[in-house]
């Protein structure tokens, strides 16, 4: 199934088409004050025309390797080209946010209910099977993790 936004000139394949994606790149982890390799995998599914799920993990390869598991549930917004979401993160709990599709970009922002945790991510479409992602996660007003990864579609 393919979900279409109101902007047919730029059809996004990440989130708006079902598939499995792998991520590989680097990040900076403030707790270790070091750059680290990042890897991950996520599966995008469309259980209905007005619902997208995205479930996966990201592994940060610092001296103390850690994984972050996350599950998103997206719903269309009343605003054009925008979907809202609720995510469940195994480390920080529930986050809410939105993704705006604009040209080759998917602009994402999110926060916890009291604002202790928040972040942003910009996905740039390179091709149907590849996106570049740059983002940061902030806890208690400080950037804790910053990343730049490539997402590659590995299957439908």
What does the pLDDT look like over 20-74, one tens digit per residue? 999 999 999 887 778 999 999 999 999 998 999 999 999 999 888 889 999 999 9
Number of domains in the chain: 1
Asked if the structure places residue 116 within a domain, the reply is: yes
Asked if the structure places residue 6 within a domain, the reply is: no
Instruction: Look at residue 144 and give its three-state secondary structure.
Output: strand
Asked if the structure places residue 147 within a domain, the reply is: yes
CATH number at residue 57: 2.40.128.20
Give the strand pairing for 130-139 and 105-111.
unpaired
Q: What is the pTM of this model?
A: 0.89
Asked if the structure places residue 138 within a domain, the reply is: yes
Q: What separation in angstroms does the CA of 125 have from each of 103, 113, 121, 122? A: 9, 30, 13, 10
Asked if the structure places residue 8 within a domain, the reply is: no
Asked if the structure places residue 12 within a domain, the reply is: no
Domain of 150, in residue numbers: 19-155
Spatial CB neighbours of 74, under 8 Å, sequence gap ≥ 6: 15, 51, 52, 53, 54, 83, 84, 85, 99
Asked if the structure places residue 132 within a domain, the reply is: yes
CB 132 within 8 A of CB 126: yes
pLDDT tens readout for residues 91-106: 999 999 999 998 899 9
């Amino acid at each position: 199934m393919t979900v279409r936004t109101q902007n047919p000139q730029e059809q996004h394949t990440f989130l708006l088409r079902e598939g499995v994606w792998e991520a590989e790149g680097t990040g900076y982890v403030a707790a270790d004050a070091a750059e680290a390799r990042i890897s991950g995998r996520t599966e995008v599914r469309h259980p209905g025309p007005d619902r997208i799920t995205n479930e996966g993990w990201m592994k940060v390869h610092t001296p103390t390797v850690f994984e972050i598991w996350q599950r998103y549930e997206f719903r269309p917004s009343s605003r054009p080209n925008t979907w809202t979401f609720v995510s469940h993160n195994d480390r920080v709990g529930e986050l809410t946010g939105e993704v705006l599709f604009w040209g080759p970009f998917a602009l994402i922002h999110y926060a916890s209910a009291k604002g202790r945790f928040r972040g942003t991510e910009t996905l740039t479409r390179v091709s149907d099977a590849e996106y570049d992602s740059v983002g940061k996660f902030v806890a208690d007003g400080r950037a804790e993790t910053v990343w730049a990864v490539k997402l590659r579609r590995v299957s439908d």
